Structure 1
């Protein structure tokens, strides 16, 4: 039972997935720090109102439009980096792999032709 669990954990897919999760988490923190350091102040400058710029109040409830815009920008940056640094290279690699494959041979191979010939001659032989 433990051997099966060990095999499951050590399969390439599980290890690759674990590495992807760790790198994704670190990358999300990096993009979050970038938007907090650079995008938030820019939105605050454009919208006024300090670091949480573009906010307004209705009946003592604050609506922070700037925080929502920052979240959209964070998502767009993350999606763009994932697309251009993961999806595009994987597509290219898959295309190169597909181009490198040998085409299927046309017709029947020599082995199969010889085996069919032997089969036919044995079937036609008188008993």
Structure 2
């Protein structure tokens, strides 16, 4: 039972989806900080309030809604970079090593591809004799 669960977890697509979700969560934090502390103050320029920090006051002094808080955005950016480094070094690299021992290549370089002159598909493998989409003979 545990062997089956381990095999399920070590499938490539499960790990890829997990890493994708983690990246999406971290990226959403970065986007939220950018909108909350950079975009929103520009939009709310006409309102009042107060907020100290690294940035510029766009409206009345003391107006938190019009404070361009660069410090919060830089903090979120640093968080994103550190979080992605942790994910890479603690999840991706050990998984790559584990799969390499099994003879499976994951998170590798993309396969060299060419563009089909007939249908303009740009993901036809270099060694392909025919396009997988339109069937045109490749030269």
User: TM-score over 0.5 for the alignment?
Assistant: no
Find the structure with the greater CA-based Rg: 1
Structure with greater contact order relative to length (CA < 8 Å, sep ≥ 6): 2
